[in-house]
Structure 1
Amino acid sequence: METNPENQEEIQDQDISKEDSSKQEDTPKQEDYEKKYQELQENYIRVHADFENTKKRLEKDKYQALEYAYEKIARDLLPIVDTLEKALQSAKETSGAEGISQGLELTLDNLHKVLAKHGIEGISCSENFDPNFHDAIMQVPAEDKQDGDIVQVLQKGYKYKERVLRPAMVSIAKN
């Protein structure tokens, strides 16, 4: 069967247009590439921000670890300070132990100076009760004090820079 050359051209044009339309459907459009690029760019920005935040947090943690490096040893030294203070009080109450009390007093003063040099200091108990720095162990009647005022210090408290190593144990007034 012979085909007309015009018919043959028409058939070829139809085949070519079918191929072009199927190729256009199969290949991604420019818009798809732009969307994918935007998504990848946003992802990159998020990951980069997370990385920077993690880096800052690690720097802060490192700084705090260095800043509070003496905290553990300071806690371990507090019972020694307490023992020296009790020994000094006992030596002052004992007659004939003036030399011992002076030696204990000098030792305790030197220890307090070293602790203060490294940022460790006692918590003041002359003010009103503060739950951040004091532990109320008991309430006692005290007519000359207001409710909540510190009546007696049972154990001295200490702080290292801004952190409480050990809160002061106190008794407070109850009217």
Structure 2
Amino acid sequence: MQKDENLEEKDTGTNLEQDASTQEKVSEQEKASEHIEALKQKIKELEESNLRTHADFENVKKRLAREKDSALDYAYEAFAKDLLSVVDALERALESANEAKQESIATGISLTLDNLLKVLGKHGVSKISCEGEFNPTLHDGIMHEVNEAKKDGEISRVLQVGYIYKDRVLRPAMVSITKN
């Protein structure tokens, strides 16, 4: 009987060891499952962060491309603005030659002025229209005049021609505005 009791004690001890081992395995599996869930959550967060970073990068890339295109489009703006003084000087010389009745000089100046204006036009520079209503974005109102032939607020006289480069004002036209 002694043997039976020893066997029972061994079986009970073995059962206890197996229960403890099973509980440890279950506990380890729960810990592993929690760890896996935490890792899955971390992967999801990193994927979202990666997507946001990629979208931000694409936005910056597009903005820089737009800025580069704009800079290239308007690279000659300062140069064109500087040439306007040459156009003004040629226009004054043409007026002077016409007043002095120097037809050959006037013709030469006129051809030079026309060629310069064609070249400027070819590169996006054009005169501002000074017909009709005063537009403060295009015209610089210097003074008021009484002019019965025009309505109030219309441009009565152009004092200096204005120019546009593509869609930007290089120099506003200086005008006199009708005020009756």
Structure 1 unaligned segments of length 5 or more: list them: none
Counterpart position of 2:88: 82
Calculate the TM-score normalised by the size of structure 2. 0.81
The percentage of counterpart residues that share the same residue type is: 50
Q: Which moved more, 1:59-68 or 1:36-45?
A: 59-68
Amino acid at match of 2:81: R
Partners of 1:22 and 1:137 in 2: CA distance: 88
Answer with 1 or 2: which has the greater Rg: 2
- Residue 37 (structure 2) pairs with residue 31 (structure 1): yes
1:94 equivalenced with 2:100 (yes/no): yes
1:160 is aligned, of 136, 144, 165, to: 165
The one-letter code matched in structure 1 to 2:84 is: L
Displacement of 1:99 after TM fit?
2.1
Residue 136 of structure 2 corresponds to: 131
Q: Offset at 1:11?
A: 6.2
* TM, length-normalised to structure 1: 0.83
What secondary structure, in the 3-state scheme, does the structure 1 residue paired with 2:156 have? strand
Q: Which runs of 5+ in 2 are unaligned?
A: 1-8
What is the alpha-carbon distance in structure 1 between the residues aligned to residue 159 and residue 34 of structure 2?
A: 79
Counterpart residue number, 1:143: 148
Q: Tell me which of 115, 119, 141 is aligned to 1:114.
A: 119
Measure the CA separation in 1 of the matches of 2:155 and 2:168.
21
How far apart in 2 are the matches of 1:173 and 1:125? 13
Secondary structure of the residue that 1:109 maps to in structure 2? helix
How far apart are residue 79 of structure 1 and its match? 0.7
Q: Following superposition of structure 1 onto structure 2, how do residues 44-83 of structure 1 map, counting pairs within 5 Å?
A: 44-83=50-89
Q: Quick one: which amino acid aligns to residue 40 of structure 1? A: L
SS in 2 for 1:82: helix
The count of corresponding residues between Structure 1 and Structure 2 is 173
Bigger mean CA deviation after superposition, 52-61 or 15-24? 15-24
- Structure 2 letter corresponding to 1:73: F
Letter in 1 for 2:176: S
